[in-house]
Amino acid sequence: MARTLPKLGEELVAQIEAAWAQAQPDWARRRLLVVRLIAQHELTVAEIMKIADVSRQTVFTYRDKLLPGGVAALLQRGKAPGNRPVVRGAVQTEFLAHLAAGKFRRAKDAQAWIKKRTRRTLTESGVRKVLRRLGGKLKVPRKSHAKKDPAKAAAFKVELPA
């Protein structure tokens, strides 16, 4: 048995039209299009699916979000929080101070400091990513650079202690 689309009511229709008149991102515009077509009450669910290029379930999901919470609930996006950075807050400022002072010659030095300070282990590539994100630069190039020109690597090792 097919589900029917009930009338939304004057107040919700006014909210939808007010939100439609404002500038919205593409994802919000699509949601508003679906509920706007529902509010017009002239099309079937199959026709709304084709016009808005969404699935049948999505049409009913958007309608079910709209009914209890209004347009604000429809336009609210539930984003999961990302991973929290290992180096943040006071640890970040201390890390940047050590980096500016030149205490990290290699990524392994920074990796050991992060492990000691935060008790979390990062891979060497993870440490390099943290350095890149914070705008830091190490004193010594990667090992692969030393393998490319041994003469330059030897000259660099001689001038580095000075």
pLDDT, position 126: 92
146, part of any domain: no
CA angle 92, 96, 99 (to 5 degrees): 140
Over residues 4-11, the mean pLDDT reads 79
156, part of any domain: no
Tokens of residue 24, six digits: 């919205």
Mark which of 36, 54, 74 sits at the end of a domain. Answer: 74
- Number of structural domains (the chain) is 2
What are the tens digits of pLDDT across the range 17-30? 999 899 988 899 99
Higher pLDDT, residue 9 or 118:
118
Residues 68 and 84 in one domain: no
Higher pLDDT, residue 53 or 105:
53
Residue count (the chain): 162
Helix (H) or strand (E) holding 155: helix 150-159
Residues 14 and 64 in one domain: yes
Listed as own residue / partner, the contacts of 72-75 with beta carbons closer than 8 Å and 24 or more positions apart are 74/31, 74/32, 74/35, 75/19, 75/24, 75/28, 75/31, 75/32
154, part of any domain: no
Task: Check pLDDT > 90 for residue 10.
Answer: no
Higher pLDDT, residue 46 or 146:
46
Over residues 41-70, the mean pLDDT reads 90
pLDDT, position 102: 84
What are the tens digits of pLDDT across the range 59-115? 999 999 988 888 888 888 877 777 888 999 999 999 999 988 888 888 899 999 999
Place 159 in a pLDDT band, splitting at 50, 70 and 90.
confident
pTM as predicted: 0.50
124, part of any domain: yes
42, part of any domain: yes
Over residues 7-22, the mean pLDDT reads 87
Residues 59 and 113 in one domain: no
Residues 113 and 62 in one domain: no
98, part of any domain: yes
Q: Describe the crossing of helices 107-118 and 124-134 by its angle, rounded to 10 degrees.
A: 90
- Domain interval for residue 96: 80-136
36, part of any domain: yes
